[in-house]
Structure 1
Amino acid sequence: MLAACVSTGVNVTPEHLSNFLPGFSTIDDVTTQLGTPTSQVTLKSGSTILIYSFATSRPHPESFIPFIGPLFAGGEIRSSTVLFEFDENGVLRSQRRTTSSGASGWSVLPSDAM
């Protein structure tokens, strides 16, 4: 069966987050381990926010069936966004992770079969 997953961004997992301690970790610690953030903002107060976004999608297997595949077009979609907030000295103040998932299209297979 064909699978065509598409992903973009940096997938920051809860395990990654456990490596960073508010009050101790720095911007350099985070960027060394995770790489370049998706976005970076410096506030007037001197605080810095790093944003890491990730998205992945996987089409329904039925999408690949000749002739009728377009009837089932769509797939599963997962995304996450992680925000790291640093004080004016570049020390981690807080971190937050949000996730979402959903599906588009129509599937005749049970979700555990995909």
Structure 2
Amino acid sequence: MKRVHALIAASAMLAACVSTGVDVRQEHLENFLLDFSTLDDVTTQLGKPTSQTTLSNGSTILVYSFASSRPHPESFIPFIGPLFAGGSIKSSTVLFEFDENGVLRSQRRTMSTSASGLSVLPADGLP
């Protein structure tokens, strides 16, 4: 019976994790070479960008944004869970700039991590 309760609790925690966008990791960026890779190369490997803009000089900028949110495990404790309400948020933004011929000129990646609420477990407290 305890296993059933543990399975239900684990399922609830996993269902509570939310993410949106395209998670472009460092190893993905290593696939693209400046002055060689094209706009088509990037969109074929990563999919549709979050945003695409063509500038007046003919260059194109693609933006890939990603965000994920994970509640604190303590939030699921009956009765006292609301005292710990909150969680961690991770986000990243990757910007690709292409010249007027669609050739990659630059790429940048920014990341941020934040948390809200209270937690008594370390950030990596659960396997």
5+ long unaligned stretches in structure 2: 1-8
Do residues 77 (structure 1) and 89 (structure 2) align? yes
TM-score w.r.t. structure 2 length?
Answer: 0.87
Do residues 66 (structure 1) and 43 (structure 2) align? no
Q: Distance in 1 between matches of 2:67 and 2:36?
A: 29
Q: Say which of 42, 56, 59 aligns to 1:44.
A: 56
Give the superposition deviation at 1:42: 0.4
Q: Percent identity?
A: 78
Q: Distance in 1 between matches of 2:18 and 2:46?
A: 20
The 5-angstrom pairing of residues 1-114 of structure 1 reads 1-2=9-10, 3=13, 4-114=16-126
Based on CA coordinates, which of the two structures has the bigger radius of gyration? 2
Runs (4+) of structure 1 exceeding 4 A deviation are none
Q: Secondary structure at the match of 2:124?
A: helix
Aligned partner letter, 2:93: T
Q: Secondary structure at the match of 2:97?
A: strand
Q: Secondary structure at the match of 2:64?
A: strand
5+ long unaligned stretches in structure 1: none
